Structure 1
Amino acid sequence: MEKDLELTSNSLVSMDKLEKNTDLKEKLWNKDFVLLLQGQIVSVFGDNIYDMALRFWILVNTGSITLMGILMTSTIIPSIFISPLAGTFIDRHDRRKILIAADILRGISILIIGLLALKGHLQVWMILISGIIMGLCSSFFNPSIDSSIPDIIPKSKILKGTSIFSLASTGNEIVGNAFGGFLVQMLGAPILFIFNGLSFLFSAFCTGFAKIPTIPQEAKNISFFNDLKLGMNFVKKSKGLKSLLITMCFFNFCASMSMTLTMPWFRSNNSLGIGFYGIAMAINTFGMFLGFTYLSIIEIKREKRFFALIASGSILSITMIIYSLTLNLYLISVMFFVDGFCIAVLSSIIQSSIQLFVPSNIRSKVFAFKNTLASALMPLGMILAGILGEKLRMNMIICADYIAFLLLFAYLSTLSSVKKIVNL
Structure 2
Amino acid sequence: MYKLWTKNFTILTLGSFVSALGSSAAGVAFGIMIFQKTGSPLTLALFMVANIIPRVLTGFLAGPFVDRHSRRKIIYMLDFGSTIIFTLIALVLFTGYFNVLIFTMVGAFLGIMDTVYQIAFMSMFPEVIEPGQHSKAYSLSSLIWPISAAVMAPVAAFMIENFEFGIAMLMLFNAFSFGIAAIMETTIRLDEKLNTSKVSGLQFVEDLKEGFRYYKVEKGILGIGILFAAFSFVYMTHDLLRMPYFINSDTLTIQDYSFLITAGSVGRILGGIIHYTFKYPPNKRYLIAIFVYFSVEIMSASMLYLPYLLMVGISFIVGLLSVTSYNIRMTATQVYIPAHMRGRVNSVQGLLWNIGAIFGAILMGGIAEYSSLDYRFIMLLAAIVSVGAIILIPVRMKHEFKKIYNADI
TM-score normalised by L of structure 1:
0.81
* Partner of residue 360 from structure 2, selected from 375, 381, 406: 381
Matches within 5 A, 1:205-244: 205-222=183-200, 223-244=203-224
Query: Does the residue aligned with 1:225 lie in a helix, a strand or coil?
Result: helix
Q: Is the 8 A contact 1:32 1:210 kept in 2?
A: yes
CA–CA distance in 2 between the matches of 1:178 and 1:330?
16
Q: 1:224 to 1:309 in 2, by over 3 A?
A: same
* Partner of residue 106 from structure 2, selected from 107, 130, 137: 130
Matched with 1:3 is none
Query: Does the residue aligned with 1:218 lie in a helix, a strand or coil?
Result: coil
Deviation at 1:172, TM superposition (A): 0.6
Q: 1:166 to 1:220 in 2, by over 3 A?
A: farther
Query: Does the residue aligned with 2:280 lie in a helix, a strand or coil?
Result: coil
Deviation at 1:54, TM superposition (A): 4.0
Matches within 5 A, 1:271-310: 280-310=260-290
Taking only the aligned residue pairs, the percentage that are identical comes to 24
Deviation at 1:371, TM superposition (A): 1.4
Matched with 1:49 is 25
The amino acid of 1:174's aligned partner reads: A
Q: Is the 8 A contact 1:113 1:126 kept in 2?
A: no
Query: Does the residue aligned with 2:51 lie in a helix, a strand or coil?
Result: coil
Q: 1:386 to 1:133 in 2, by over 3 A?
A: closer
The amino acid of 1:411's aligned partner reads: V
Q: 1:332 to 1:126 in 2, by over 3 A?
A: closer
* Partner of residue 194 from structure 1, selected from 142, 167, 172: 172
Deviation at 1:109, TM superposition (A): 1.5
* Partner of residue 110 from structure 1, selected from 86, 91, 96: 86
Deviates more, 1:338-347 or 1:396-405: 396-405
Deviation at 1:358, TM superposition (A): 0.7
Deviation at 1:122, TM superposition (A): 7.3
Deviation at 1:138, TM superposition (A): 1.0
* Cα deviation code 1:369-389 (max 9, x no counterpart): 111211121131233334566
* Partner of residue 415 from structure 1, selected from 380, 395, 398: 398
Unaligned runs of 5+ in 1: 1-24
Deviation at 1:95, TM superposition (A): 0.8
* Partner of residue 144 from structure 2, selected from 154, 168, 190: 168
Number of corresponding residues:
396
Matched with 1:5 is none
Query: Does the residue aligned with 2:133 lie in a helix, a strand or coil?
Result: helix
Q: Is the 8 A contact 1:104 1:200 kept in 2?
A: yes
Q: Is the 8 A contact 1:155 1:356 kept in 2?
A: no
Q: Is the 8 A contact 1:75 1:132 kept in 2?
A: yes
CA–CA distance in 1 between the matches of 2:294 and 2:33?
41
Higher relative contact order (CA 8 A, sep 6+): 2
Matches within 5 A, 1:343-354: 343-354=322-333
* Cα deviation code 1:272-320 (max 9, x no counterpart): 9678766555433332232223223322243332232223223324545
Q: 1:73 to 1:46 in 2, by over 3 A?
A: farther
Q: 1:418 to 1:345 in 2, by over 3 A?
A: same
Unaligned runs of 5+ in 2: none
Q: 1:391 to 1:410 in 2, by over 3 A?
A: farther
Q: 1:402 to 1:261 in 2, by over 3 A?
A: farther
* Partner of residue 356 from structure 1, selected from 313, 335, 341: 335
CA–CA distance in 1 between the matches of 2:237 and 2:379?
11
Query: Does the residue aligned with 1:212 lie in a helix, a strand or coil?
Result: coil
Q: Give yes or no for the alignment of 1:342 onto 2:342.
A: no
Q: Is the 8 A contact 1:320 1:398 kept in 2?
A: no
TM-score normalised by L of structure 2:
0.83
Bigger Rg over Cα: 1
